[in-house]
Chains A and B, each alone.
Chain A
Amino acid sequence: MQKVYTRIEAIAGNVITVKAEGIKNGDLAEVTSAHGTSLANVIRLKGDLVSLQVFAGARGVSTGDEVRFLGKPMQVSCSDDLLGRIFDGSGRPRDNGPELKDQMIDIGGPSVNPAKRIIPKHMIRTGIPMIDVFNSLVESQKLPIFSISGEPYNELLSRIALQAEVDLIILGGIGLKYDDYLFFRDTLESGGAMSRTIFFVHTAADPTVEGLLVPDISLAVAEQFALRGKKVLVLLTDMTNFADAMKEIAITMEQVPSNRGYPGDLYSQLASRYEKAVDFDTAGSVTILAATTMPGDDVTHPVPDNTGYITEGQYYLKNGRIEPFGSLSRLKQQVNSSTRDDHRPLMDGMIKLYASYQESLEKKSMGFRMSSWDKKLLAYGEMFESRMMDLSVNIPLEEALDLGWEILSSSLDQDETGLRTELVRKYWPKNRE
């Protein structure tokens, strides 16, 4: 049952309004204008007035254009044929391959019953000490990379994707630069991961609103594969573009903005996507890594701020390094009790000392004389930065822990570490006692 309407009552921003009956909230429609056909979905009903957001944008849409209601919400295919394929933001092939119509599922489905979740227990090893030691990544975690534009967040995402032992990688690009898209494609291809990857790519050149669908499509597919027992890693880049597209629609709909123009439900909107990360009782898992660029390097900007309240930590990328402050993995305690007994105390102890190092550094920059303690801290901090924090370091966790003791013992005395005596005795390098 497809109804066609040819009279658009109002057009504002990317939202059009038509008079229609029997339409359901959330239903999909096709809007055909001189520029082609775009998908749209119903976002408001008021009497017989139906408002829709047009994914390809309403630019060039005329009041006489055709609106065809499809009588169903947005759907996507989730068959195995998706593997190795590249689609656009609305799920249409971008790679000249065939359109897929098998096993269609609704996007943006209901959330998982908390009673059916399990406590995640599997660490994803990345070989990056700032992650493995200090903020371990865990299967089913939802975690953004906070970054200013220009930082190598996409490199970091692809590096983790290749290193992680997952069954399936889904890349959701939102406002992705074309070069970055090619970068992902080439990196995953040369890493031999293409056949277990699915791309949903909305590029910076595509209409903004179309990017809104990418997280939902990517996550709906991820969820289906997870239900079939697969470990799925979803990369979303960049979620700030997603939030901005939402802002645009909210303003068009004349919603009262809550903070810097963003709608009051920004938190709930982001949460309903990120909460798709899950470790299923008796099935697979969905892990979400997302890039969130921070306008003006400001963590208090509504997008990173709301994101941080939702996700299970964040990696804060700055000057090409993962910063120890501001970075956090909230799931680390689920996995780091069973690695090595020095893991937890070392990770906290080293950061505490790094905080003291920062203070000494500040004093130094103000021209104060360095006490012998300051000098020790400076030596410690510099070694920490060059040997641990540098992103080029690629070593297994255990080696990184040993390196931690190495750094501590070559700059400090045992009782300066703030670590318990028993532990220090056990791990202090023998040649330094």
Chain B
Amino acid sequence: MDRTSGKVIGVTGNMVTVEVSGRISMNEVGFIRMGEKKLKAEVIRINGSIAELQVFEMTQGISVGDEVEFSQEQLSVTLGPGLLGQIYDGLQNPLPALAEQCGFFLERGVYLDALDGERQWEFTPKVSKGDTVRPADTIGIVPEGIFEHRIMVPFTLQRGSYQVTSVAEAGNYRIHDTIAEVEDAKGRTHELTMVFDWPVKRAITHYQERLRPDQPLVTQVRITDTFFPIALGGTYCIPGPFGAGKTVLQQITSRHADVDIVIIAACGERAGEVVETLKEFPELTDPRTGKSLMERTIIICNTSSMPVSAREASVYTAVSLAEYYRQMGLHVLLLADSTSRWAQSMREMSGRLEEIPGEEAFPAYLESVIASFYERAGIVRLSDGETGSVTIGGTVSPAGGNFEEPVTQATLKVVGAFHGLSRERSDARKYPAIHPLESWSKYSGRISKEQVEYVRSILYRGDEVSQMMKVVGEEGTSTEDYIIYLKSDLVDSVYIQQNSFDPVDAAVPIERQKHTFDLLFRVTAGAYELENKEDARHYFNQIRQLFLDWNGAESDADSFAEIESRISEKYREKLVSYDTRVKSLISDEEGR
């Protein structure tokens, strides 16, 4: 087959216009020849013999007349063993290897293999000659760090049955070695290796059925797990103005979330933040496995000064990798920071294509693109009956911190949970600054729903009282109302706020959350005999102090139980009764 070629006839920003001789397809990858260098680009519009390409590199130095070669391939990711622990750019170039070759800077036009072709993998076959297999069925396994990596029939093969005509014996192989041969219905033979390429913009749908995301995903962030839980296979978003804590929240989630694999898509944000992850993770042990956290992590990093078009590709690269590991029956969490930068890269391209702009100059298809991205999340039953999931959490960076903007709005329509960050709370250093009243989740968590509802109602009423106090002053507020306000303030200071930089408080296992929440619930459900507001304030200050100290105590330390009993004593000191509406929820009622 003849490869199509073309010539550059125009350049604006990162878009080049090419006159093409021959057949090309949408999203096909082309290379622009610039002297010795070849710059990667993707076809984003075709009109007769004229194609527009977005270039994944800076376009300085390109001139009219430069040659363009088309690859006949769509923009793809390489799937196979060895992905875990890698740090890739948006196009799956391994950055450490790139640094070895090019030094400090990201040179244009250098593209390296995503996976090491020389590394040996210990292959164990799972099928035999004569077996019937379908795409995505397991042919064999290789150990990859803490996981059994399934070598599957490539998803790129046409759906249908294939017969295994040969399979390699157990032993060590490189990824490009043939490990099996299968024959399709027409009698054609396909040689299978341990790798294949998958076009990033297509969802991998090789499963039996999609299930409802009803298993909680524990993040060890109290406000999330208790009040606004997320689910395996679910979606959630974190919109917030700059500095409100989106990235820190994702960083701690990437460390502590109870999932098998975390994929971090650093999309158009600061390089320094990725550096923190990539330098620290190898040093941190994952308490679940005892191995380095890096062994369960993949970083896709296309930071703000890296080429904008590759930023658009990076989220798709990330989600394709997530789907691939999901096919192995694993639970994968994809954290994208920030989806707004991805949306902006679409906006830049749309502007260059001179499309009719929508709101704030975003393209009209923004909503549908965002929706179809989040649709790639899900918990599924695979053909072997196992389940695997992809959970997607994206941050949103709204212009001016105003949630009434296209990206936030489009995202809110499709996600299952909303963790809205508040500037007011981050200014007051109340972290994590997830707004306790405005956020929501459609998923259910692990903590008693009735208790959570009750405490939330205290938060709402506390907020009302605090608003009232701004109108009528403290003097115009009854002691009873004031106590509600103090209770909501207590819940805020000792439960909702969580110190990410404290060794104990940073991550709270769900059992401990249940335990502390139960006591906190009892405190909030109590009616107290308190003379006046001043007394009430003192009393609650003491309780708060105890809880704060409690939060800093290791679960297995003596001080933990000791402080707990001091809290119990303290709050019973003035306790008269419990709110009758929730009395039944109090576990160890002691004759009051």
Contacts and interface: CB of A to CB of B under 8 A. Distances in A.
A300 B402 contact: yes
Contacts of B304: 267-268, 271-272, 275, 310
Contacts of B243: 308, 313-314, 328, 330
B10 A46 contact: yes
Contacts of A366: 470, 473
A421 B87 contact: no
Interface in A304-324: 305, 308-310, 312-314
Assign chain A's interface to a size class.
35 or more
A373 B104 CA distance: 56
B537 interface: yes
A120 B549 contact: no
A27 B63 CA distance: 10
Contact of B60 (A26, A114, A265, A312): A26
A45 B96 CA distance: 35
Given A22-B65, A264-B361, A265-B308, A352 B430 contact: yes
Contacts of A310: 270, 304
B450 interface: no
Interface string B59-103: 111111100000000000000000000010000000110110011
Interface in B498-512: 501
A264 B102 contact: no
Interface stretch (B145-153, B198-206, B225-233, B341-349): B341-349
A137 B240 CA distance: 24
A420 interface: yes
B274 interface: yes
Nearest to B428: A355
A21 interface: yes
B501 A344 contact: yes
B475 interface: yes
B53 interface: no
Interface in A120-150: 120, 140
B474 interface: yes
Given A330-B243, A368-B473, A24 B62 contact: yes
B143 to A, nearest CB: 26
B427 A326 contact: yes
Interface in B89-128: 95-96, 98-99, 102-108
A373 B537 contact: yes
B306 A111 contact: yes
Interface stretch (B290-298, B410-418, B538-546): B538-546
Interface in B240-257: 241-243
A280 B11 contact: no
B279 A111 contact: no
Interface stretch (A175-183, A201-209, A255-263, A379-387): A255-263
A115 B429 contact: no
Contact of A26 (B59, B108, B501, B534): B59
Interface in B39-74: 58-65
Given A368-B473, A374-B474, A118 B275 contact: yes
A23 interface: yes
Interface stretch (B381-389, B393-401, B583-591): B393-401
Nearest to A328: B243
Given A116-B103, A118-B279, A300 B400 contact: yes
A418 B534 contact: no
Contacts of B537: 373
B319 interface: no
B105 A111 contact: yes
B370 interface: no
B341 A267 contact: yes
Given A25-B59, A45-B11, A116-B99, A267 B344 contact: yes
Contact of B360 (A259, A312, A369): A259
Contacts of B533: 371
Contact of A312 (B268, B270, B305): B270
Interface in B359-411: 360-362, 397, 399-402
Contacts of A120: 272
Interface in A77-124: 108-120
Given A21-B64, A45-B10, A110-B106, A305 B278 contact: no
B26 interface: no
A32 B440 CA distance: 63
B347 A305 contact: no
A25 B95 contact: no
A374 B275 CA distance: 44
A227 B361 contact: no
B219 interface: no
B158 interface: no
B31 to A, nearest CB: 17
B519 interface: no
Contact of A256 (B61, B62, B351): B351
Contact of A268 (B60, B348, B475, B534): B348
B424 to A, nearest CB: 9
B270 A44 contact: no
A81 B98 CA distance: 34
A252 interface: no
A265 B95 contact: no
B63 to A, nearest CB: 4
B27 to A, nearest CB: 22
A115 B305 contact: no
A325 B470 contact: no
B171 interface: no
B28 to A, nearest CB: 22
Given A112-B105, A258-B347, A351 B429 contact: yes
Given A256-B361, A264-B347, A344-B501, A110 B107 contact: yes
Interface string A134-171: 00000010000000000000000000000000000000
Given A47-B10, A352-B430, A265 B106 contact: no
A217 to B, nearest CB: 16
B63 A111 contact: no
B462 to A, nearest CB: 14
Interface string B464-475: 000001100111
B357 interface: yes
A73 interface: yes
B187 to A, nearest CB: 48
- Return the 8 tightest CB-CB contacts between A and B, nearest first: A368-B473, A300-B400, A26-B60, A271-B304, A275-B305, A355-B428, A308-B242, A111-B305
20 contacts: A25-B61, A26-B59, A43-B12, A46-B17, A110-B107, A114-B87, A114-B95, A116-B99, A118-B279, A265-B348, A268-B268, A300-B400, A300-B401, A305-B242, A313-B243, A333-B501, A363-B474, A371-B533, A373-B537, A416-B541
Given A48-B64, A258-B360, 13 more contacts: A24-B61, A44-B10, A45-B63, A111-B305, A112-B271, A113-B102, A114-B303, A119-B280, A272-B305, A275-B271, A308-B242, A369-B475, A373-B537
